[in-house]
Structure 1
Amino acid sequence: MVRSWATTVPQQAEHRMEMEIGIDIGGTFTDAVCRQSNGRLRLLKVPSTPDDPARAVGVALSELLGDGDGAAVRRFLHGTTVATNAILEGNTARVALITTTGFGDVIEIGRMIRSVNYDLILTPQTPVGLIPPERRYEVHGRIGADGAVVEPLDEEGVAEAARQLAAEGVQAVAICFLFSFLNPAHERRAREIIEAECPGVAVSLSSDVDPAIREYERTCATAFDAALKPVMDSYLARIEGIIAKRGIRAPLQVMHSRGGLLGSGEARRRPVRLTLSGPSAAAIGAASVLRQAGFSEGISIDVGGTSADVALISGGAAVLRTDGRIGSFPVRVPTADVVAVAAGGGSIAWIDATGALRVGPRSAGADPGPACYRRGGTMPTVLDASVVLGLVDPVSFAGGHVPLDCAAAEEAIEREIAAPLGIGVQEAALAIHRVINAIMAEAVRQVTVARGTDPRDWPLLPAGGGGGLHAATIAEDLGMGCIVVPSAPGVLAAMGLLEAPLEHDASRGYYRPVHQLAEDVLRADIEELAGRCAAAMTREGVEPAMTETEVVAAASFVGQGHTLDVPVPAECWEPGAAIRDGFIAVHRRAYGHTRDAPVRLVELRVVQRARIPGPPSLRAAGAAEARGGRCAVIGGAMVKAVTIPRIGMADGEMIRGPAIVEQADSTLVVPAGWEVTSHPAHLLMRKVSS
């Protein structure tokens, strides 16, 4: 077990001090952060428990609280990949689909798009395994494209379907009728019938989950939501039991895909919002650190054991996208716009059939792990290369709890890379780093240069255990001259939980030209959506005065297939005019031109958020540790680098490279020509010469 590495504040300062706890479950480690009311942090990593992820939460709480009273915890925040993993691994509830006659196979037909063009044998491209044909029920009844009832709902048909699915042991039902996003009456009546016929069966309506056009995507989102309800209800109940046992009276709040928090009750009502939340938590953490450092724009790169996640921060917040995917399946929930590449500390280096050096996508993972772990791994990894290059201290790695074997790393690189290429071990290790750095730099280009953004004037924020090892090289490759390093880069997702707002959203579909919608109708709709958000906030115990409201319209020109988001002033008296004019302006900014054509409103979304005030996070106090030095390959050459424990750096202290700044959760390499300055909540690293 990896223990807490942050030095605590003196005991008398901790007495009866309130605290906030954020725990984020990852595939290898579960990260925990405890922030006290004076801003001091305790950081913790414990091994995740895939057989029962909730168990790792209990272990982390025991480590953080010890014999202390959980009543001092005023907020308990949780991020989990349980929902995403349940879909990927097929561990969801037994679910059925009730839909309009003739549309039962929409979930199997999909979009007729192959995710891999040249594979002769394809895995399923649609979630056909989630709802096989025998659990799809078609009923008569039809809503037209204008929202009017074309054919009455066959209520007896719904009741018969309910009786059949109950006999088959179905645990959850997804209801997705044609054009229900314009008129949900049939879906709501069907839910009443099913609840009467099948008490205890979870029901999800497409008009609640994803009220927008495109039947396949809407059906997928609704099916996943229904399939996750029993799973997440059970999981959240276990977490609530764990925190109650520790005496924590604060309500459980969970990270959702937009990067906000939901109370456990709201999370149970629409659990599909909990998918894809992992990247959002890290992006929220990155945005918070950048704001504290005085930057509203930036690029974060979170380098873990198997992958590197690159996210764009703009306007002080993570950039969102609405076309998320889990595997090859669409999940239309807003999530952080993250590009993930198979490049991490555990990425395996190998020689391909042409004799070229490759790194990744295979990873050694946590078990057996890199060769230097001495746990059975024999293939060389990026971490092995970092050890051979002298960038990582084998003794102090992970706070000294995971000693590394440099000889094992050298042996693996010599056998698999150096000897086949006819080069030295150190040269081979440097080549591994150059390849992985090029992969990561290309990922940054994908979210910046490829989308018309020049990264050179933006800061780079490295996170994860490996971010600091590669940050300077990536920045130099991209012409970037500024790097912002969080106080706890290895647990950035858990830190993001502490900074995330409580957030609720509601939406309504239209798919009509704006000029056909009366202004008073649009105002009433916005007010109704805001009221639904406010009601959810009230259930969370949040006063209306604490909230802020955001209104966004998804719009397009009539005839276009895709939309652009248009911000609408919350108190706007003429929202239709604001949507029309705003869309034309947004279209011009996005594409450089516009045209004289009617604007169509596709969807209105209202988001309410409440930011819970908390102290600024400060690194834990501790005695200054001895500084030293060691030889390391930095910038392609062997140099004598000073080694500096980060916990001992004074505020305002500036160090020039070559240097290595070490802390238990990460290592920061400072090449010659760079300088790093210590601040209370971050390090600021700048390039000072070529």
Structure 2
Amino acid sequence: MTAYTLGIDVGGTFTDLVCADESGHLEIEKVLSTADNQALGVLAGIEKLASTYGVRSVDLLSHISVIVHGTTVATNTMLEYNGAHTGLITTAGFRDIIEIRRNYKEAAFDIRLPAPHPIVPRRRRLGVTERIDVAGTIVKPLVEDEVREAVRRLAAMEVEAIAVCYLFAFLNPVHELRTREIIRETLPDVYVALSSEVLPQVREFERLSTTLVDAYVTPRLRRYLQRLETDLRARGFRGELFIMQGNGGVVGVERASRHGVQALLSGPASGVVAGAHLGHRSGFKDVITIDMGGTSFDVCLVQDGRPKIGTDQWMSRYRVAVPFIDIHTIGAGGGSIAWVDEGGALRVGPESARAHPGPACYGFGGQVPTVTDADVVLGYVNPESFLGGEMRLNADAARHAILTKVAHPLGMDLLQAASGIFRIVNNVMSNSVRQVSLAKGYDPRDFALTAFGGAGAIHAGALVESLGIRTILVPKNTAPMLCALGDLLSDLRVSRVRSFHARSSTVDLTTLNALCHRMGSEAEEALGTQRSHLQGITTQLALAMRYVGQTHEVTVPIASRNGVVGTAEMTAAIHGFHTLHKQLFTFNKPEDEVEILSLQLDLIGIRRKPVLRTVPYQGIDPRAAFAGKRSVYSSLAQDFVETNIYDGNRLLAGNVVEGPAVIEEKATSIVIFPGQRAVLNEHLTYVIEVL
């Protein structure tokens, strides 16, 4: 057998696998996710993949050199609030920062909005005497007996993790380091998260919140990864196992297990990486990626081939300020539930039917209508060929659910209700695209839309109508598994953020470069033995900047020359800040002084990746792939119209498909609406143009 690399992405509904051989040939599989133990779904997918190759799973695993895994364990832990029994040790008098927050509610006028779920209740938040000032000087020594008493109390509460967050510990971590030593004297098996390691930068609430989230999710993620690696090794896997991170890079299992907060949103991040790669191959460096799966809708803006990186993510109403790909996520997927609210209005999401019981059409006992049920009723999804015919859908159950739960309560007929579900979820998703584009100073008409996920290509053609986007990119065959392919296309990435306070007129470049050097050395050390397998290493730097007197900053890239930031590079970064500020907020003040708050360094280790195939053009005529006609809903006619159906497996590079049409593939459908035309290019990507 040849050597393989395997990408695995676990979503809320499906687990996707993409296996690449040395020639770049891809085999794809999709199985239902197993929420209680994601490893079971992963192993079931490997078994199914092995049967596709006609070999035993042990033989396939023994020939896989690299597995890259994107998991939702950390994300689901926060969404479901089922993380570790966590305690907090902090500076006396400051244990309520996590509840005081920024002193404002997310929805100021919603008097019914409850407080966030306490991942660490007040009884498990304990203060001890110590104090470090704004200069990093010890004002009050750490009272170690108080730490030991706090540990004793937390031990009595049977905590599994302890977060330690002292004031200004990012300037001087000596007290936090000593506290960890004391904790390990009594509780050697408890996970300890230090704020000076998780997020060593200014702002107490952000640092505390991020550290608490890390303590809360890491034990569960660590157990899952250990169990998965053990199971894979027992089944013959001898290669390297990498874990996807929310910053768009991968790390080894051991490093992924150190700080679980880095694994949040790792699945969507890999999709963005693949979407950017796909756009670049097809000649589009500026793209907006949309990933519509079974549970969520994830959207990200990619400019000049680079996804936007941010540090202002929220997860289940907790601030997570480590660097992540800037992805906007909402509860709008194929499994999103359609319902009628108290005022008699039709709503869709954010609740999802997930894999079990799933949409009504799955036949697993689901009784509520979902987006997938509407897609089946409208003819966009063929119930006979779902997942290549391996899973037949029950169209009657979909119709019954929509009739009883939506149509009858609203006095509508079936077609009005199903098209209403389709239209509403599209409006919600369009607004999300505007959030990452118009709301941040970008015109979506300047971007192509890269659509993937199981339902992305079904809805993309309708989304662009209200956004003014003229081009849609959909990868052939891999669209529903693009996150798994993105795992294989991702590089090793170590992100570091450090507080660096200065003003543009007096910034000390010697101090800045010394900090860059220290951070770079830490990041290189983090690569460990994996460095020997890399094809190269690159470094990216950015500064968090604002005008003096502002309370929030924007992140601006800064160049370096042979690893050194000079006057010219700093001047260019400051100019870039003024430009970006005007783009984001419609004004700037070039004459005002700029304040620098922190330095971000990303060390990127270039991995060997599968070389995706390019195929020759075979002509424009798609008739060889014609599979008949089917009644499909048309919003223009507001009725069903006879529509051409094409077998995606038989479409060749160069084939042109005029809308209205539906291209059916194993795990998705590509809907070409009236006034649109699809061309399959040499990179096996459907380029859909709005005429």
Normalised by the length of structure 1, the TM-score is 0.90
Tell me the alpha carbon deviations over residues 526-564 of structure 1, each in whole angstroms, 9 at most, x when there is no partner: 111101111112332446861111111212233221112
Moved more, 647-656 or 181-190: 181-190
Which residue in the other structure is 1:107 paired with?
98
**Deviation of the 1:650 alpha carbon:** 1.2
The counterpart of 2:285, out of the listed 296, 315, 320, is 296
**Deviation of the 1:580 alpha carbon:** 5.7
The 3 A distance-change label for structure 1 pair 184 and 580 is farther
Which residue in the other structure is 1:233 paired with?
222
**Deviation of the 1:45 alpha carbon:** 1.5
- Separation in 2 of the partners of 1:194 and 1:421? 60
- Separation in 2 of the partners of 1:543 and 1:395? 46
**Deviation of the 1:218 alpha carbon:** 0.6
Instruction: Output the amino acid matched with 2:127.
Output: E
Which residue in the other structure is 2:246 paired with?
257
3-state DSSP class of the match of 2:679? strand
Query: Would you say the 8 A contact 2:545–2:556 is kept in 1?
Result: yes
The 3 A distance-change label for structure 1 pair 448 and 519 is closer
Which residue in the other structure is 2:662 paired with?
660
The counterpart of 2:553, out of the listed 554, 560, 563, is 563
**Deviation of the 1:299 alpha carbon:** 1.3
The 3 A distance-change label for structure 1 pair 384 and 48 is closer
Which residue in the other structure is 2:621 paired with?
none
Tell me the alpha carbon deviations over residues 38-73 of structure 1, each in whole angstroms, 9 at most, x when there is no partner: 111111122222222222222222222341242321
- Separation in 1 of the partners of 2:596 and 2:515? 13
Instruction: Output the amino acid matched with 1:172.
Output: A
Instruction: Output the amino acid matched with 1:213.
Output: V
Normalised by the length of structure 2, the TM-score is 0.90
Tell me the alpha carbon deviations over residues 376-403 of structure 1, each in whole angstroms, 9 at most, x when there is no partner: 3444433333223322212112211221
- Separation in 2 of the partners of 1:163 and 1:516? 48
How many aligned residue pairs are there?
A: 670
3-state DSSP class of the match of 1:269? coil
Which residue in the other structure is 2:27 paired with?
42
Instruction: Output the amino acid matched with 2:528.
Output: T
The 3 A distance-change label for structure 1 pair 354 and 190 is closer
Tell me the alpha carbon deviations over residues 460-479 of structure 1, each in whole angstroms, 9 at most, x when there is no partner: 12212222222212112222
**Deviation of the 1:34 alpha carbon:** 0.9
The counterpart of 1:509, out of the listed 499, 508, 514, is 499
- Separation in 2 of the partners of 1:627 and 1:544? 46
Q: Identical aligned pairs, as a percentage?
A: 37
Moved more, 377-386 or 652-661: 377-386
Instruction: Output the amino acid matched with 1:616.
Output: V
The counterpart of 1:587, out of the listed 578, 591, 615, is 578
3-state DSSP class of the match of 2:257? helix
Instruction: Output the amino acid matched with 1:590.
Output: H
The counterpart of 2:300, out of the listed 296, 302, 311, is 311
3-state DSSP class of the match of 1:643? strand
Query: Would you say the 8 A contact 1:504–1:609 is kept in 2?
Result: yes
**Deviation of the 1:635 alpha carbon:** 4.5
3-state DSSP class of the match of 2:541? strand
Instruction: Output the amino acid matched with 1:56.
Output: G
Query: Would you say the 8 A contact 2:14–2:32 is kept in 1?
Result: yes
- Separation in 2 of the partners of 1:377 and 1:356? 22
Moved more, 497-506 or 102-111: 102-111
- Separation in 2 of the partners of 1:517 and 1:357? 56
Instruction: Output the amino acid matched with 1:464.
Output: G
**Deviation of the 1:197 alpha carbon:** 4.4
The 3 A distance-change label for structure 1 pair 198 and 643 is same
Which residue in the other structure is 1:647 paired with?
649
The 3 A distance-change label for structure 1 pair 77 and 578 is same
The 3 A distance-change label for structure 1 pair 295 and 619 is closer
Moved more, 270-279 or 658-667: 270-279
Instruction: Output the amino acid matched with 1:89.
Output: E
The counterpart of 2:597, out of the listed 591, 597, 602, is 602
Which residue in the other structure is 2:357 paired with?
368
CA RMSD, aligned part only?
A: 2.7
Which residue in the other structure is 1:13 paired with?
none
- Separation in 2 of the partners of 1:250 and 1:580? 46
Instruction: Output the amino acid matched with 1:523.
Output: N
**Deviation of the 1:155 alpha carbon:** 3.4
Matched, 1:224 2:213: yes
Instruction: Output the amino acid matched with 1:468.
Output: A
**Deviation of the 1:207 alpha carbon:** 1.1
- Separation in 1 of the partners of 2:72 and 2:366? 26
3-state DSSP class of the match of 1:540? helix
The 3 A distance-change label for structure 1 pair 659 and 215 is same
Query: Would you say the 8 A contact 1:457–1:480 is kept in 2?
Result: yes
- Separation in 2 of the partners of 1:124 and 1:30? 33
3-state DSSP class of the match of 1:93? coil
- Separation in 2 of the partners of 1:345 and 1:612? 34
**Deviation of the 1:136 alpha carbon:** 2.8
